[in-house]
Amino acid sequence: MKRIAIVGGGISGLSAAFALERSRKDDAPLEYVLYESSSRLGGVLTTEDVDGCLIEAGPDSFLTEKPWASDLCREIGLGDQLIGSNDTDRKTYILVKGRLVVIPDGLMFMVPTKIIPAVLSPLFSARTKLRMAREWFHPPRKAESDESVASMVERHYGAEMVERLADPLLSGVYGGEADQLSVRAVLPRFAEMEAKYGSLGRAMLAARGKMARARKGPARPLFTSLKDGMQQMVDVLLSRLPASALRTNAPVLSIQPQAGGWMVSAGHGSDQFDAVVLATPAQAAASLLRVANAQLASELQAIQYTSSITINLGYDQSVRSLLPPGFGFLVPRTEGRRILAATFVHNKFPHRAPDDRALIRCFVGGAGNEHVLELADDELLRIARDELRQIIGLTAEPLFTRVYRWKDAMAQYGVGHLERLQRIENLLAGLSGLALAGNGYRGIGVPDCIRSGSDAATKLLAKLGLADEKLPTTA
């Protein structure tokens, strides 16, 4: 009988557990234990039902084009619960000099693919519009080394594109800053597109044409979620795992290589395993590995995280008609606000709020704003309401509010991240029976985390001779 420990019970650890469970059900001689330091499983995936509204404390959805989350949902019987974003109403605004300006049609992430809407948009100055036209003729360029997203976007479209689009978009996804994040790790397709086509605009059009030709059936929604919220995935996953394998309130304090396996110490006792999946944030993995391999620990420690707070405000139906149509807005740093973004939740997805309610979710925090975690809920609510009043003229009294704090939850892939992952791979190769999973490595979104957990489990099963390794070796 082989024994595997999983440390961390977020979606990455649960996906690893599910992959092991699949193998166990197929009669692999295997047992596993998942250790989670907090009292609940699921990590940042938490949904709360308040006054008939579904409030997502953490992620509200995942990108449809990344298949691993939808695949897992189908496998656990949630295929008919998957819902798409209301893309017919998809409109997002950017706050520019205190006014909301809609992101023009044809902008793919921050790359303009339709000339007329971009030229007519008040989002860009004449100078940036000229840069957009010139970008079309950008010569192919194979970068010798990594650079920041800001540096690449600025080379193509100028500084205004970074300030008004790249930075707010990345701050919405990563809680990070465009001048810190690695283009190769965060937007790998941009680096490939530049090498092949030169112009990101032409490359994006070519990719879109290829996708349209390959696609059978209607266009898919940009985002996918679950009817009862993201926690539905966690709840059903848990129902597929044996309760005896899951330990909550069980922080792992150390892991040490020992006699061909690993000794895992958690609270009251220690236990021997043949292999370990570390599915915690990278910095927690670093502290657990300090004794086993100080160099690996210091590489993991260098992966930075930022914190984020979601502030949810529920209103009566009258607020719906006061809001601009669409999914919400993003706030560039130069606007000097605390809110980074706001989502009009009732517009973005069906099944989130009854017709007589409106639900708004604001984000604060992100890189350089750690101090907001110290603010009391009342103060955070005051800031959110004040800024909503100034930005969209919303003065209504909320019917309910919820504030969720996520300390050090968003990994920041800094310039050179992929090279760091390579060094981590090399160091891991010297530690038998250890695999890493989680949002610190090859994707911060829920689908990537699911894939990372499942890959880590498959890799260890192969090492233990319990499965074929079909996957590329990744951290």
Ligand X SMILES: Cc1cc2nc3c(=O)[nH]c(=O)nc-3n(C[C@H](O)[C@H](O)[C@H](O)COP(=O)(O)OP(=O)(O)OC[C@H]3O[C@@H](n4cnc5c(N)ncnc54)[C@H](O)[C@@H]3O)c2cc1C
If one asks whether residue 32 binds ligand X (CB under 6 A), the answer comes out as: no
If one asks whether residue 172 binds ligand X (CB under 6 A), the answer comes out as: no
* Closest CB to ligand X among residues 14, 53: 14
If one asks whether residue 438 binds ligand X (CB under 6 A), the answer comes out as: yes
Instruction: Identify which range of 10-18, 22-30, 338-346, 420-428 contacts ligand X by CB under 6 A.
Output: 10-18
Q: Check: CB of residue 266 under 8 Å from CB of residue 247.
A: yes
How many other C-beta atoms lie within 10 A of the C-beta of residue 472? Answer: 7
* Closest CB to ligand X among residues 62, 124: 62
Q: Which residues pair with 94 in a beta bridge?
A: 101, 330
- d(Cα 72, Cα 450) in Å, to the nearest integer? 8
If one asks whether residue 9 binds ligand X (CB under 6 A), the answer comes out as: yes
In angstroms, what CA-CA distances link 358 with 133, 361, 472?
Answer: 40, 10, 45
If one asks whether residue 168 binds ligand X (CB under 6 A), the answer comes out as: no
Instruction: Identify which range of 24-32, 37-45, 74-82, 189-197 contacts ligand X by CB under 6 A.
Output: 37-45
List 60, 179, 194, 274, residue binding ligand X (CB under 6 A): 60
Region 268-297 residues binding ligand X, contact defined as CB under 6 A: 279-281, 284
Q: Check: CB of residue 462 under 8 Å from CB of residue 432.
A: no
Mask for 397-416, x = binds ligand X (CB under 6 A): ---------x--xx------
Helix (H, G, I), strand (E, B) or coil at 94: strand
If one asks whether residue 5 binds ligand X (CB under 6 A), the answer comes out as: no
Instruction: Identify which range of 53-61, 72-80, 146-154, 194-202 contacts ligand X by CB under 6 A.
Output: 53-61
Contacts (Cβ under 8 Å, ≥6 apart) of 309: 363, 364, 365, 372, 373, 380, 403, 404, 405, 406
Instruction: Identify which range of 19-27, 40-48, 93-101, 416-424 contacts ligand X by CB under 6 A.
Output: 40-48
* Closest CB to ligand X among residues 62, 157: 62
If one asks whether residue 37 binds ligand X (CB under 6 A), the answer comes out as: yes
Nearest Cα residue to 117 out of 102, 106, 132, 129 = 106
Helix (H, G, I), strand (E, B) or coil at 458: helix
In angstroms, what CA-CA distances link 128 with 132, 150, 437?
Answer: 6, 15, 40
Helix (H, G, I), strand (E, B) or coil at 328: strand
* Closest CB to ligand X among residues 332, 445: 445
> Which residue in the block uniquely carries the two structure tokens 């309610």?
357
Burial class (CB in 10 A: 0-12, 13-18, 19+), 442: buried
- Residues of this chain that bind ligand X (CB under 6 A): 7-13, 35-38, 43-45, 58-62, 251-252, 279-281, 284, 308, 310, 406, 409-410, 438-439, 444-446, 449
